[in-house]
Chain A
Amino acid sequence: MGFLDALPATIMQWLRSTLNLFLPYWGTEVVVALVKVVLILVLAIMPVIVFTWMERKVLARAQDRFGPNVAGPYGLVVAFADALKILTKEDIIPAAADRPVFRWAPALVIIPTLLVFAVIPVGRGVIGVDLNVGILYVVSVASVNVIAVLAATWSSGNKYSLVAAFRTVAQLVSYEVPMAFAILAVVMAAGSLSTVQIVEAQAVPFAIAMPVAAAIYFVCALAEANRCPFDLLMGESEIVAGFNLEYSGMRFAMFYIAEYAHVFIIGALTTTLFLGGYKGPLLPGWFWFFAKSTAVVFVVLWIRATWPRMRLDQLLDFSWKFLTPLSMANLIAVGVAYKLAADPYLSAAISLVASGALVAVVLALARVAARRSRSRQLRAVVLGEV
């Protein structure tokens, strides 16, 4: 199995040495870099094909339907059928649109999502570039998304998309805060910002050592990717079709690809930060990475099949009044736990206990708050204020 684990690295070595025979050093580096770029693009685009199919299949099965089953075996090539359909669509630019911005916004939406894949360790030693500030890079690149969505909506000259943009910007900005705190706990425990270092630091997966941080990160990642139950941006019943309302044809496909690439980013980052990345027994690292990512993506789709959409004010309340304080408290708890013991297993155990205590405190507080709000409602009913 060691052979399979090292297979990507071996191929890269072989490519490098072959190229060195008839290229100068810088030429080899350029070619290798280009190959890596292409591979990362494939890594980012391929999941779109798989996950569009998977989403439709999981949703259908949860609703007692078959889902796509005509295009190819088990409907597997349905994504290609979609692509063909989208290619034949007319590319419409509205008269009220700000043309240059409107044209470039789809690219602006998709580029940050593709850039994130550069620092995700897919297997042992299989990574685009091992930045020593990897996670900082991910967080900062991902926040460009806000500007991209705003550009897309503002330039379409449509009121409904503008409403969607307001919601989205409020949502993305508020959920970045608890997400950063949750990631900070991981960074603190791992002692590094590099994604590879974080994976290597996980003797015990951080999802077990700090379940609160993992849960907060997952919820915030759902919000950042505008997935259900935080998909306010797509509220069909309220704002027609959301921020990409005026887009059609290939430009719309860009948003579509970005959305599913985002879903994969949720899976990949959750795997890297909390589930031990490419680590796993017996099977090669890249297999474990993809298996774990797909499992996380399944949870995302599962949630989509179950939960209704949140209201905007509840959404912001949830972020600022619940997740942000909780993530700060979690940061303190995890920090103390990892300072108490040097042994990774012992500190993980202490951290787990601290997280459990945190959950207990939160539940007790929530119960008090719920009782108080209930009695307030009751008083309002009794006094006839409703």
Chain B
Amino acid sequence: MLGRGLLKGLWVTLRHFVASYTKGPRRFPARYTPAGILARSEPDKDGMFTLQYPFEQFEMFPRFRGVLVHLRDPETGQHRCTACLACERACPHGVITIEVEGRGRERRLKSYLYDMGRCIFCRLCVEACRFDAIEMSQFYAFVSTRKDQVLTLEDMLALGDRSGIRHSGEAWS
């Protein structure tokens, strides 16, 4: 019959309209959990499946190269950086800026600045580090209105705590 395709199309959109209200994890707490995201991502799920980006984010895979973070030494609770400048030299973009104070045995890290806006997330700095001090996290949503978004050592340590990474290269071994 003529116009059958039109009616079929209407039926499809109506079904999706109704299913978006009746099917799938649609209520607030269920929606914004990792389990809820996974449940929605299955291919044959009815109802709404789109990721509500600012409110929920995909868990990135372990080898994802996100924001660079500092790791804590579990014994001292301090950062492990010895200010050897290996990462600074390895960086192709000059993203890392390290200031050192003291000489010889007194040599210590004064400040560690990481200009995330220019980072290309190549992980060469982590490869260069021999002291298990830095690693790339799974964080990726770092939108800023500032062009010069620079993280300090404290910022990076806090992010390292949040990331749950204990040793550099965990995911690679």
A residues near B (Cβ < 8 Å) are 58, 61-66, 302-303, 305-307, 363, 366-367, 370
B residues near A (Cβ < 8 Å) are 1-2, 6, 9-10, 12-14, 16-17, 19-21, 47-50, 52
Of the A-B pairs whose beta carbons lie under 8 Å apart in the complex, a sample of 24, sorted by A's number, is A58-B17, A61-B16, A61-B21, A61-B48, A62-B13, A62-B14, A62-B16, A62-B20, A64-B19, A64-B47, A64-B48, A65-B48, A65-B50, A66-B50, A66-B52, A302-B14, A303-B10, A305-B13, A305-B17, A306-B6, A306-B9, A363-B2, A367-B2, A370-B2
A64 touches B50 (CB 8 A): yes
With contacts A61-B20, A63-B16, A64-B20 taken as known, whether A306 is within 8 angstroms of B50 at the C-beta atoms is no
A307 touches B6 (CB 8 A): yes
Query: Which of A61, A64, A307, A367 has the most chain B CB atoms inside 10 A of its CB?
Result: A64
Complex CA gap A63/B13 in Å reads 7
State the Cβ distance, B21 to closest chain A Cβ, in Å.
7
CB-nearest residue of chain A relative to B52? A66
With contacts A64-B48, A66-B48 taken as known, whether A363 is within 8 angstroms of B16 at the C-beta atoms is no
State the Cβ distance, B51 to closest chain A Cβ, in Å.
11
CB-nearest residue of chain A relative to B15? A62
Chain A residues within 8 Å of B16, by CB: 61-64
CB-nearest residue of chain A relative to B54? A70
Classify the secondary structure of A's interface with B: helix
Chain B residues within 8 Å of A305, by CB: 13, 17
With contacts A62-B17, A363-B2, A366-B2 taken as known, whether A307 is within 8 angstroms of B49 at the C-beta atoms is no
Complex CA gap A293/B125 in Å reads 64
Complex CA gap A366/B1 in Å reads 9
Chain A residues within 8 Å of B2, by CB: 363, 366-367, 370
Q: Which of B1, B12, B52 contacts A306 (CB 8 A)?
A: B12
State the Cβ distance, A385 to closest chain B Cβ, in Å.
26
State the Cβ distance, A326 to closest chain B Cβ, in Å.
13
**17 other contacts beyond A61-B21, A64-B47, A306-B13, with CB at 8 A cut-off?**
A61-B16, A62-B13, A62-B17, A64-B16, A64-B19, A64-B20, A64-B49, A64-B50, A66-B48, A302-B10, A305-B13, A306-B6, A306-B9, A306-B10, A307-B9, A307-B10, A367-B2
